[in-house]
């Protein structure tokens, strides 16, 4: 089933979603969006929020960078495959965490989003250019 998703489509969708997520976390970091709706509603202080948001920004930025530094699906295949499987695991665990979140926003909006990202990363991880 994963092979039905074209490699370039998966890469482009991951990029679009990740950039949107980066913008969302920047809005949380600047206080425009309240931090009570992220990280399962469990953040207790501004400092916890800053640390968590910076981690999220770095993870998403590295994902976008990895996909676009390596535009050719034939270069760095093994390294990309390993890293993509790590992202599949991360997004799968995040999906479970979102299901258990105190915030309804995370349950309704971010659960399907992280599940989609896990599937798209799995598509990148299973891609065989030869």
Residue 79 lies in a domain: yes
Q: What is the pLDDT of residues 76-114, one digit of tens each?
A: 678 888 999 999 999 999 999 888 887 787 888 889 999
Q: What is the pLDDT of residue 130?
A: 63
- Write out the residue range of the structural domain in which residue 119 sits: 2-125
Which pTM value belongs to this model?
Answer: 0.88
Structure tokens at 106: 């995370």
- For residues 87 and 63, the answer to whether their CB atoms sit within 8 Å is yes
Q: How many residues does the chain have?
A: 130
How deeply is 8 buried, as exposed, middle or buried, from its count of CB atoms within 10 A (0-12, 13-18, 19+)? exposed
* C-alpha distance from residue 80 to each of 12, 25, 34, 74, 103 (Å): 16, 25, 34, 10, 33
Number of compact structural domains in the chain: 1
- Using 50, 70 and 90 to split pLDDT, how confident is the model at 53? very high
Mean pLDDT of the chain: 88
The share of the chain scoring above pLDDT 70, in percent, equals 93
Residue 130 lies in a domain: no
Q: What is the pLDDT of residues 57-82, one digit of tens each?
A: 999 999 999 888 766 656 667 888 89
Q: Which residue has the higher pLDDT, 129 or 123?
A: 123
Residue with tokens 């920004």: 57
Q: What is the pLDDT of residue 75?
A: 65
Residue 10 lies in a domain: yes
């Amino acid at each position: 089933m994963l092979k039905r998703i074209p490699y370039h489509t998966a890469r482009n969708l991951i990029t679009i979603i990740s950039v949107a997520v980066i913008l969302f976390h920047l809005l949380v970091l600047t206080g425009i969006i309240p931090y009570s709706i992220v990280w399962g509603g469990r953040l207790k202080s501004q400092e916890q929020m800053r640390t968590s948001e910076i981690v999220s920004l770095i993870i998403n930025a590295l994902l976008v960078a990895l996909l676009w530094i390596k535009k050719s699906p034939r270069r760095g295949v093994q390294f990309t495959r390993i890293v993509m499987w790590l992202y599949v695991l991360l997004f799968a665990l995040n999906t479970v965490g979102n299901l258990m979140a105190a915030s309804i926003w995370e349950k309704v909006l971010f659960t399907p989003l992280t599940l989609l990202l896990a599937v798209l990363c799995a598509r990148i991880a299973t891609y065989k250019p030869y």
